[in-house]
Amino acid sequence: MDIYLLFGPPGSGKGSLGKLLPKGSHLSIGSLLREQNIDCSNGKLVSDEYINSLVLKYLKQNSQKEFLVLDGYPRTESQAIFLKKYFQDRIKTFIHLSCSDEEVIDRVCFRETCNCGCSYHPRLKPSKRVGICDACGSMLKKRSDDTKEIIQERLSVYKKEKNKILRHFQDKYVDVSVERDFKESLKKIAQFILSGNENYIKDIRNFPIGRDQIKQFGRE
């Protein structure tokens, strides 16, 4: 199994990207936790021990799959080390979705979600009928952690761990911008994952990743 790691701030489009991939090829840890009624509504991370065992079990059970996109894992350095210990050879690409804080805050504060996994935003992806999911017709709702206060906490958790995680995946690292042309960018990233062809993300890729940047990963 080839493993793709999808890393980015809240609201950068990890879940929306997952919707563009074949069913069963995208695992969102946050969604899995919500399905299991694990409380993750305060923006703080669930324990590494719990998350690592969850991921290990899932990967072992699904080892026959051709590829899997892990969304929201690893989120700490200890998770990164754990993943590498067991699946180093399987990790194909570490995809970093780049987006500014302002854009992230706007996306998350106005986001509406459905239990079926779809999410909407009045500017980026409005639902056809207000408050109703296009895909399944259910009522849309706000995630309880999609508030201005909690998004600050989630962003600070993300920033605190980011560079410590990135330095473990320097050789697999691809940084792509999802700031503008959101839907189009996600489509290109999905095509890249499905084909392995980097040409799809040529114009949204922030590269080359310089020596200074690599050194920076090591420092923080």
Establish if 72 lies at the interface with ligand AMP (CB under 6 A): yes
The number of helix segments (H) and strand segments (E) in the chain equals 8, 7
For residue 173, the SS3 value is: strand
Q: How far is CA 3 from the centre of its chain?
A: 13
State the Rg of the chain over Cα.
Answer: 17
First CA to last CA distance, the chain: 31
> Residue 152 is inside which H or E element, if any?
helix 148-166
The minimum distance between CB 146 and ligand AMP, in angstroms, equals: 9
The minimum distance between CB 206 and ligand AMP, in angstroms, equals: 22
The minimum distance between CB 18 and ligand AMP, in angstroms, equals: 11
Which tokens in the block code for residue 70? 């892990």
Tell me the window of 18-26, 42-50, 165-173, 196-204 that interacts with ligand AMP (CB under 6 A): 42-50
Residue partners of 160: CB distance under 8 A and separation at least 6: none
Figure out which of the listed residues 20, 40, 109, 214 binds ligand AMP, where binding follows CB under 6 A: 40
Over the window 122 to 151, marking each residue x when it contacts ligand AMP by CB under 6 A and - when it does not, the resulting string is -----------------------x------
CA separation for the pair 48, 86 (Å, rounded): 15
Establish if 75 lies at the interface with ligand AMP (CB under 6 A): yes
- Residues 85 to 114 in contact with ligand AMP, rule: CB under 6 A: none
Establish if 29 lies at the interface with ligand AMP (CB under 6 A): yes
Contact 142, 31 (CB under 8 A): no
Q: Which of 3, 205 has the CB closer to ligand AMP?
A: 3
The site for ligand AMP (CB under 6 A) is made up of 10, 29-30, 33, 40, 43-46, 51, 72-73, 75, 79, 145, 154
